[in-house]
Structure 1
Amino acid sequence: MFLIQLVIVLLAIFVGARLGGIGLGVMGGLGLAILTFGFGLQPTSPPIDVMLMIAAVITAAGALQTAGGMDYLVSLAEKALRKNPSHITFMGPIVTYLFTFCAGTGHVSYSVLPVIAEVSRQSGVRPERPLSISVIASQQAITASPISAATVALVSLLAGYQISLMDILMISVPSTFISCMIAAWIMTKVGKNLDEDPEYQKRLADGTIDAVVKTQSESVTAMNPRAKLSVVLFLLGVVLVVLLGSMPQLRPAWETGGKLVPLNMAYAIELVMLSIAALILLICKVNASHLIKSNVFLAGMQAVISIFGIAWLGDTFFAGHMDQISMWIKDSVTAAPWLFAIALFILSILLYSQAATVRALVPLGIALGLPPAALIAMFPAVNGYFFIPNYPTVIAAINFDRTGTTRIGKYVLNHSFMLPGLIATVLAVTIGFGLAQLIL
């Protein structure tokens, strides 16, 4: 029964990817309906917070584009990248890594993914290259962020071994960042150049996407001042999100159960980005009816529908079989402790959460007698949820790339994020072991 249901999940992803657009979302819904009505699996809660965060960010990004701010960013980037446009493949992951490091959540990358996609296209760089590694960097940084739930969970579990937060960061920060930069360098060699990609050329011929008009030097000088102001407002929103994530004391708090509980970070992102969208509409005189017709907004809404169906399907499937899956992993690790890193990776694919993976398996590693240094070195292995292409940031990046170069492959698992994800994860664990021997 497990294998039959797994085939249904993979088939929904495969057919949805072939349909394109909102195909992933509607096929995810169909697959979930089959599992629910045909096999009796109880649906989990749909990913409402993620969907609303994307909707809020995309509304702000759509306002930015409608005000001319996206064109202004692209023109500046083209000027900076004229000598070596491949720099975007390194700058993109650096930005998403830093955002996640400061905010403790990879969802802050939604605000920069559409910018990375458009800057790449306008600069003639295959968008798949920076987008794929940027998404992976936003995940890897979770295990390097001092305020992420995963890092906090690991610190608490290793407290009995006199392991401090700084001990973990001295290993996880350099190992994850260096691995992402190596993966970024490899991604500069991946795929055909944009002007040679058949899918992009097909979309140009069909009129699905407009050709790039090289008017950089004129656009910078003749840019409407409101476009520059919209960029300032949008970047202000991004900075506020990072600050609210890195300093919870800045968020309002309410007493719950005798404790002060700060505003949920998902709510904070939604409130900030909706407010920024409102300010751009009001101050920059943006027509709201034009906003909803913008390319960025339309792509973002496709991502919301895709996430609604496919992420809900995957979460329901794994939740329905978690006891069985956990038993398989525990039996394997007990038989061969060196498989612990692989077990972390596999469980993270199933749980879609680094923190949940740490809480579920690290106690087993401790019980097996694995040394703390080894557990810290293997910490980045919990970043495996890129493996099955239905995680929100993965789906969002695919939809933001209007050229079609960032995609799910014919066989589902041969998607744009597989290579950079595997490279970054394997290298991070390998470098981590080397650093652990030197530091601890």
Structure 2
Amino acid sequence: MIWIQFLIVLIMILIGANMKGIGLGVMGMVGMLIFVSVFHMHPTEPPLDVMLIIIAIVTTGAALQAAGGLDYLVSIAEKIIRSNPSQITFLAPVTTYFLCLFAGTSHIVYSLLPIISEVAAKKRIRPERPLSVSVIASHIALTGSPMSAATAAMAAILAYPSAVVDIMKVGIPSCLLGVLAGALAVRKKGKELNDDPDFIEKMKDPEFAQSIDADSAENKKAIKPGAKTAVLIFGIAILLVVLCGAFPSLVPNTGKGDLNFSVKADGTLTMGSVIEIITLSATALIMLVTKTSAEAVTKASLFTSMATAVISVFGVVWMSSTFMANNEHVIKEALGGIAQAHPWTFTFAVFIMGVLMFSQAATTRTMMPLGVALGIANPNLLAMFPAVNADFVLPGYPTLLAAINFDRTGTTKIGKYVINHSFMLPGFVVIGTAIIIGFLLSHILL
């Protein structure tokens, strides 16, 4: 029976991923309908913690965007990338990593992709190289950022006070070294641009050649007056979240031991509640100080993407957790011994689910509780965390498609066999390196 139920989970995820957008969420609900009506499964609690965290964090990011803060950050990143064009294969992904690490979202990379492509093409460096690893860097930054939904979900699952800080201690250095390894792996990938037959053919078109070599028009966005202030407030919010994780005594205690959604048994607020309170308070402060209207925040592209993320997590995670909870005994019996004796093997299960789910937060919320149930130690789970970034394998994620479209030279592409695309090599190198280093660091630092 468990295999039939597992097949239903896979079918719902595959159909939902193919539908894109809210597809994962609605198909997850179809799976839930089948589970409760046909198999009479007892539903688990919906993933309200992750959903609320996503709402809070993305709303703060949208306020930062509406106030011009993201444009200001992108302008700084652009200066760094343009400062040394010959080293763009290393400079672009590292800059992208830190930008997304701070912002807590990979979607900010859309603003950098055309800049990376243009600078590389003018320097006659194959744009595929910096573009591919920069996209992977924008994803893996989320598994170390205190402002990402994936990190917040991981901290909630580990459920100890300093979880956010431990995630950063292991995730930031391991993932950054992974990004550098990925850049090293692609630095000679493919033919040099001047030797690429497709590019040579395109350069025969005078209009195309002129567009590649011409100086870029200075059509930069004007930075809004309150942009720097918004970034400062956002940065303070990040600092407060980190401090609360590093020093549990700073977390408010109500003095009551009434265990509920936001309060632990000893009366201390949960880390999820702390994140939600701090980030939404920062949102209010950004709006008040920079005089950003509520309407501008709700119209920001980050805010509109929030509904998709929440619905996706709601449906697919609820379905997956219900399946696992109702089959927990069988799963533990089958995998428990292997997972405890060889914890690293669980990494493959996390990676495969990441390929299917197209969501770091959803993959984290689905797989990491299973890891805890199987008895895998927290340091090992932290080392495996980058595996949730496997959404590059099937080239349907928006950041991958955007990079392909922004590369006018045509070097960044999807291969004949679909999975032999430009992002496969850097993706495996970055994540593989991050996980290996993560295992080393987690056992040294924790």
TM above 0.5, yes or no, is yes
The root-mean-square deviation of aligned C-alpha atoms, in Å, is: 5.2
Match of 2:306 among 287, 300, 307: 300
1:90 counterpart = 2:94: yes
Residue 307 of structure 1: CA displacement?
Answer: 1.2
Match of 1:317 among 315, 323, 327: 323
Q: Which moved more, 1:425-434 or 1:311-320?
A: 425-434
Secondary structure of 1:13's partner?
helix
Quote the residue 1:178 is aligned against.
177
Q: Which moved more, 1:253-262 or 1:312-321?
A: 253-262
Aligned counterparts of 1:263 and 1:119: Cα–Cα separation in 2: 38
Distance 1:55 1:317, change over 3 A: same
Aligned counterparts of 2:69 and 2:326: Cα–Cα separation in 1: 45
Quote the residue 2:254 is aligned against.
254
Aligned counterparts of 1:301 and 1:10: Cα–Cα separation in 2: 23
Aligned counterparts of 2:279 and 2:286: Cα–Cα separation in 1: 11
- Tell me if structure 2 keeps the 8 A contact 1:121–1:127: no
Distance 1:3 1:173, change over 3 A: same
Equivalent residue letter for 1:113: S
Aligned counterparts of 1:304 and 1:53: Cα–Cα separation in 2: 10
Aligned counterparts of 1:416 and 1:261: Cα–Cα separation in 2: 50
Aligned counterparts of 2:372 and 2:20: Cα–Cα separation in 1: 34
Aligned counterparts of 2:300 and 2:54: Cα–Cα separation in 1: 15
Quote the residue 1:8 is aligned against.
8
1:115 counterpart = 2:108: yes
Deviations for 1:244-289, whole angstroms, at most 9, x for unmatched residues?
2222222212335598553211111111111121122222222222
Distance 1:345 1:89, change over 3 A: same
Q: Which moved more, 1:16-25 or 1:411-420?
A: 411-420
Distance 1:381 1:141, change over 3 A: farther
Quote the residue 2:241 is aligned against.
241
Distance 1:129 1:23, change over 3 A: farther
- Tell me if structure 1 keeps the 8 A contact 2:46–2:318: yes
Distance 1:81 1:260, change over 3 A: same
Secondary structure of 2:38's partner?
helix
Match of 1:361 among 358, 368, 375: 375
Aligned counterparts of 1:58 and 1:123: Cα–Cα separation in 2: 26
Distance 1:301 1:420, change over 3 A: farther
Q: Which moved more, 1:259-268 or 1:7-16?
A: 259-268
Number of residues of Structure 1 aligned to a counterpart in Structure 2: 374
Equivalent residue letter for 2:292: V
Equivalent residue letter for 1:274: L
Aligned counterparts of 2:99 and 2:63: Cα–Cα separation in 1: 21
Q: Which residues of structure 2 form unaligned runs of 5+?
A: 118-126, 161-165, 199-215, 259-264, 354-362, 406-414
Equivalent residue letter for 1:360: L
Secondary structure of 2:254's partner?
strand
1:284 counterpart = 2:290: yes
- Tell me if structure 1 keeps the 8 A contact 2:58–2:302: yes
Residue 78 of structure 1: CA displacement?
Answer: 1.5
Aligned counterparts of 2:442 and 2:271: Cα–Cα separation in 1: 32
Deviations for 1:189-228, whole angstroms, at most 9, x for unmatched residues?
999x9xx9xxxxxxxxxxxxxxxxx665754xx5331223
Distance 1:249 1:402, change over 3 A: farther
Residue 298 of structure 1: CA displacement?
Answer: 0.7
Equivalent residue letter for 2:106: L
Aligned counterparts of 1:314 and 1:412: Cα–Cα separation in 2: 27
Q: Which moved more, 1:56-65 or 1:413-422?
A: 413-422
Aligned counterparts of 1:430 and 1:333: Cα–Cα separation in 2: 17
Quote the residue 2:409 is aligned against.
none
- Tell me if structure 1 keeps the 8 A contact 2:143–2:385: no
Distance 1:137 1:264, change over 3 A: same
Aligned counterparts of 2:56 and 2:441: Cα–Cα separation in 1: 40
Aligned counterparts of 2:232 and 2:143: Cα–Cα separation in 1: 27
Deviations for 1:128-161, whole angstroms, at most 9, x for unmatched residues?
744544444544799x9xx9689999xxxxxxxx
- Tell me if structure 1 keeps the 8 A contact 2:157–2:369: yes
Quote the residue 1:224 is aligned against.
224
Quote the residue 2:35 is aligned against.
35
Deviations for 1:295-348, whole angstroms, at most 9, x for unmatched residues?
1111122111111112222222222222212211245579xx5x4531465489
Quote the residue 1:342 is aligned against.
345
Secondary structure of 1:225's partner?
coil
User: If the length of structure 1 is used for normalisation, what is the TM-score?
Assistant: 0.65
Quote the residue 1:201 is aligned against.
none
Residue 419 of structure 1: CA displacement?
Answer: 6.9
Residue 64 of structure 1: CA displacement?
Answer: 1.9
Residue 383 of structure 1: CA displacement?
Answer: 5.7
- Tell me if structure 1 keeps the 8 A contact 2:133–2:427: no
Residue 55 of structure 1: CA displacement?
Answer: 0.9
Quote the residue 2:383 is aligned against.
380
Quote the residue 1:270 is aligned against.
276
Aligned counterparts of 2:419 and 2:326: Cα–Cα separation in 1: 22
Secondary structure of 2:255's partner?
strand
Aligned counterparts of 1:273 and 1:94: Cα–Cα separation in 2: 20
Residue 117 of structure 1: CA displacement?
Answer: 4.4
Aligned counterparts of 2:34 and 2:442: Cα–Cα separation in 1: 47
Percent identity between matched residues is: 31
Residue 403 of structure 1: CA displacement?
Answer: 3.4
Distance 1:12 1:140, change over 3 A: same
Residue 355 of structure 1: CA displacement?
Answer: 7.5
- Tell me if structure 2 keeps the 8 A contact 1:345–1:383: no
- Tell me if structure 2 keeps the 8 A contact 1:28–1:313: yes
Residue 11 of structure 1: CA displacement?
Answer: 2.0
Aligned counterparts of 2:76 and 2:100: Cα–Cα separation in 1: 19
Distance 1:9 1:333, change over 3 A: closer
